[in-house]
Amino acid sequence: MKILLLSFYYPPDLSAGSFRASALAKALLQCRDDIELEIITTQPNRYASFASEAPATERAGRLTVHRIPLPPRRGGIVEQLRAFASYALGVRKVVQQQPYDIVAATSSRLMTAALGALVANSKGAPLYLDIRDIFVDTIADVFPAWLAALTVRPFAIVERMTIRKAAIVNLVSGGFLDYFKSRYPNKRFTYHTNGIDEEFLHALPQARKKDPDRRTVLYAGNIGDGQGLHHILPKLAQELESKVTFRLFGDGGRLKLLQDRLQEAHVKNVELYQPVPREQLLEEYANADVLFLHLNDVEAFKKVLPSKLFEYGATGKPIWAGLRGHAAEFAIAELDNTAIFEPCNAKEALAALDKLAFRVAPRVDFLEKYDRRLIMKAMAHDVLSIHKQTSEKT
């Protein structure tokens, strides 16, 4: 059986999509010995500041990975369109002469899913979609009004054609279900969320001794509009100058704006670092007192479930998070010693920090429930089931 998996990100890239695609690939290969898995992704490009060499074609047993080169990353919508166009052309070239029994795609921005639908249609293969964001919903809230007015309707049409082509649509967040069910009532939806990767299932490295009178708050991840750190962090850092050092590991489209805001506020207790490999990040988690997470105050983000919650939760460290909607409900229900505040509300954030217990306490039940290996094993069986369904119909 030959399976094609499309994912814009794949290791060694650092992103939630990359780690998820890698885990799904491993689970699929473990399901059956006759599976040949072909992955088409991009050369590492998630962060301009994190460059990692990767072969254009990589073969290991029954797994083949093709990495499509992209134009230099500069940010902005036009550059993103150019990058996806390069990816789409590369995918078309790779698949041109190849037959597939199943096509699968994991997608945050809708277009990778749409590309999967096009390939599946051309190959006469069933399609499995893993949806990690509601792109149409997001652009309506995040894009400038004039641009949203021009793009929402065309992307809604693309979404409709894409979802209707899929045999199964998996939703990463339970907050997505109402949106999709109301629009596609006859479609089969599943819920295999993000999970905890094997690296985080083990104990953290031993932390170094620190100043007991000064806390270290760590943030690791993207620094963009979705996180809105430029709205909250300068004020928090000012208020906690004598008590807290903030350490940020990441990059993104709003890093420069965050730096400017911090400079304007004369903040001295925020340290900015480029993204680091996961092995090094584990060391940083071990040395932190509190892990910080924040989503911008945007209506669409009430539906999402950040993958970072699973990584943070696995450490046993206190979590300080600006969240609303489904993510807030999930954190309250599943993660003890987590303080939630309204996004972009510094006053609430400061009050929430005082509610945390500054200790490490393993979240044993959470680790067992959200072990990524178990989640991906179930998801892989769903992927394989669509081939059986198609065979029975024919």
pLDDT given at position 96 = 94
pLDDT at residue 98, rounded to an integer? 95
Report residue 26 CA to chain centroid gap. Answer: 18
Q: Which two tokens stand for residue 272?
A: 């900015």
User: From the first residue on, what is the mean pLDDT of each consecutive set of 10 residues in the chain (394 residues)?
Assistant: 97 91 98 97 74 85 96 73 93 96 95 97 97 90 83 94 97 96 96 93 75 90 94 97 96 94 97 93 94 95 96 96 98 98 97 95 95 97 87 55
Six-digit token pair at 264? 């304007």
According to the 3-state scheme, what is the secondary structure of 46-98? CCCCCCCCCCCEEEECCEEEEEECCCCCCCCHHHHHHHHHHHHHHHHHHHCCC
Cβ-proximal residues to 43 (8 Å cutoff; 6+ apart), any chain? 54, 56, 67, 68, 69, 70
Whole-number Å distance between alpha carbons of 33 and 134: 35
pLDDT at position 50:
56
Answer yes or no: are the C-beta atoms of 104 and 383 closer than 8 Å.
Answer: yes
Cα–Cα distance for residue pair 158/162, rounded to 1 Å: 6
